[in-house]
Amino acid sequence: MSVSVRFKFSRKGPVRYIGHLDMLRYFQKAVMRSGLPARYSEGFHPHQIMSFAYPLGVSMETEGDYMDLDLTEELPEEEMVRRLNEVMDEGVKVTRASILIENAENAMSLVTAADYRIEISGDTSVLDKAVAELADTKELLIDGGKTKRGGKPKDPKNIRPGILDIHTEDGGALFMRLVSGSAMNVRPADVFDKLNGFAGGVLYPECICRLDIYADTDGKLTALSETQRKYA
C-alpha cells in the first residue's frame, strides 16, 4: 500500500537564502528524522519519492509552497504535520498535510498561477500611479534569453498577458498574481523591474514573498492544498 501526501509549508528568515537542491536534501533528512514511513524508489540508489511544486528563487520567502511525498501507510494529517514540525529548523514550518486521491497528479504538473507580495521601499508615493500605468499597458517585453545550442538570442517575450492581477496594499506593499508553469512563467522580479521603469527607478524591493500556488480546476484557480484531496 502507498499513499501520496501534499504538504504545504512556509519558509522565512535566513533560510530564504538556501537554494532549491539544498532544500530538497533538507526535507529528505527532516522526513527521516520525523519517522514518517516514506516510500523509496527501487534500484541501486533508492531515494524518497518526493517532489516540489515550484522551485523558489534564492532570497525569496514563502507562505505557501508545496511538497508531495509518497508514504507506505496512511497516517492522520495532523500527526504528519506535528511530526515534521518537531524536527524543523527555525524559519521552516509545515502548515498543512493533505492526503491525495489515488493516482493524483503531482503538484508540479498542476501549477498554473502564483500569488506574491513585495515589500517596497523608496519613493512609494509614485507606486499607485506606476501600477495604473503598467495595468493599462498591453505589451511588456523582456529579454527572451538564448537558445541552448546555437547561443542565438530568442525573440523578446511579452509578459503582460501573464499578469492576472496587480495592485497596491496598505503599508506600501505590492500584490501580484502571475501565470506560472511550463507553458508560460512570469517572474515577480521581471514585473517589478517593468513597474520600476514606470516609477522612474525610485522603488526598491525589500522582500518578495510567495503567498500561494494555484491549479486550474475547470477554469477556476484553486490553491494546491485544495486540489485532489482524498478527504474534503
Query: pLDDT digit string (tens) for 127-160?
Result: 999 999 999 999 999 887 666 666 677 788 999 9
The residue range of the domain holding 123 is: 110-220
Q: Look at residues 108, 125, 145 and tell me which one is the last residue of a structural domain.
A: 108
Query: pLDDT digit string (tens) for 83-110?
Result: 999 999 999 999 999 999 999 999 999 9
Spatial distance between the Cα atoms of 195 and 179, rounded to a whole number of angstroms:
17
Q: Would you tell me how many other CB atoms lie within 10 Å of the CB of residue 219?
A: 5
Same-domain check for residues 161 and 209: yes
Q: Is residue 230 part of a domain?
A: no
Averaged pLDDT score across all residues of the chain: 92
Q: Would you tell me how many other CB atoms lie within 10 Å of the CB of residue 145?
A: 11
Confirm if 168 and 191 have CB atoms less than 8 A apart: no
pLDDT at 44: 85
Q: Is residue 201 part of a domain?
A: yes
Q: Would you tell me how many other CB atoms lie within 10 Å of the CB of residue 19?
A: 11
Q: Would you tell me how many other CB atoms lie within 10 Å of the CB of residue 67?
A: 21
Same-domain check for residues 79 and 96: yes
Asked if the model's pLDDT at residue 14 lies above 70, the reply is yes
Q: Look at residues 108, 139, 173 and tell me which one is the last residue of a structural domain.
A: 108
| Domain count across the chain | 2
Q: Is residue 121 part of a domain?
A: yes
Question: What is the mean predicted confidence (pLDDT) over 215-226?
Answer: 94
Same-domain check for residues 30 and 72: yes
Spatial distance between the Cα atoms of 96 and 122, rounded to a whole number of angstroms:
36
